[in-house]
Amino acid sequence: MTKRIDLNCDMGESFGMYTFGADEQLIAYITSANIACGAHAGEPDVMDRTVRLAKEHGVRVGAHPGFPDLAGFGRRMMDFSPVEVYRMVVHQIGGIQAFCKVHNVRMQHVKPHGALYNIAAKNRDTADAIARAVRDVDDELELFGLAGSELLAAGRGAGLSVASEVFADRTYQADGSLTPRSRPDALIRDADEAVLQVERMLNLGKVHAVTGEEVMIEADTICLHGDGEQAVAFAGKLRTALEQSGVDVQAIGKAGSRAK
């Protein structure tokens, strides 16, 4: 059976006079775009432009809600109650959904950003709040979450289709969590090393933790970060390597949603 994988990338993170990421170049290599909703990054003009860009390239659109923290790019922990998380996520999904309607695009998924994503990976109350928000806005949306996380369990509990996400350019801890960005070993900067990590995930269902353990992992979608200096070359190399090894790179919605 042919292996199948989705490649997703966080996009639409520019705002005002500040430009982040190489969206126009990266869009050629990915199959799903997670579009910032104006909280941790992004703004209406950028949201509109990024939805149009994804449509032009046949890339599926998802909302990328995060904490309202422009200064910290949504990567700082914030003390929000589950009710506040629910309302925040509903509000942000709605913003992307509106632009999708304007451009006659079907929004496909939701992937939390940054600190919100990391909290939801371990905290079930936060995870449940996000899953309920997604379900209540549109129960046909798919929820992306860290492989093995509470967020995926909450999504399944809410009756959503979920996608198990892995990272090409991040290192892992023994419990399957991502190494905190505050540590010097959090990122994989060598494209060849990242390709090897992805190949192990797909072929063996395992990833090496930074402490040496082998961690079992399930991969439905691979995240590529678009804000690195070598992001475009990195994305191209990974996609080429996957296709040369016989992996079918396509959006989950096109391949058929994963089981609930």
C-alpha torsion sign, points 259, 113, 204, 230: positive
- Domain membership flag for residue 238: yes
Q: In this structure, are strands 214-216 and 206-208 parallel, antiparallel, or unpaired?
A: antiparallel
- Domain membership flag for residue 234: yes
- Domain membership flag for residue 260: no
- Domain membership flag for residue 84: yes
- Domain membership flag for residue 189: yes
Q: What is the residue range of 84's domain?
A: 4-255
What confidence score (pLDDT) does residue 36 get?
97
- Number of domains observed in the structure of the chain: 1
Contact (Cβ atoms closer than 8 angstroms) between residue 159 and residue 130 = no
Mean pLDDT by 10 residues, the chain (260 residues): 88 88 92 96 97 97 97 93 98 98 97 97 98 98 97 98 95 94 90 92 94 95 80 90 92 54
pTM of the model: 0.94
- Domain membership flag for residue 114: yes
Show the 3-state SS of the chain: CCCEEEEEEEECCCECCECCCCHHHHCCCCCEEEEECCCCCCCHHHHHHHHHHHHHCCCEEEEECCCCCCCCCCCCCCCCCHHHHHHHHHHHHHHHHHHHHHCCCCEEEECCCHHHHHHHHHCHHHHHHHHHHHHHHCCCCEEEEECCCHHHHHHHHCCCCEEEEEECCECECCCCCECCCCCCCCECCCHHHHHHHHHHHHHHCEEEECCCCEEECCCCEEEECCCCCCHHHHHHHHHHHHHHCCCEECCHHHHCCCCC
CATH code of the domain covering residue 247: 3.20.20.370
What confidence score (pLDDT) does residue 260 get?
42
Q: What is the pLDDT of residues 124-171, one digit of tens each?
A: 999 999 999 999 999 999 999 999 999 999 999 999 999 999 999 999
Give me the residue label for tokens 């006079």: 17
User: Both tokens of residue 198?
Assistant: 């992805």
Nearest-angstrom CA–CA distance, 90 and 94: 6
- Domain membership flag for residue 209: yes
What confidence score (pLDDT) does residue 90 get?
98
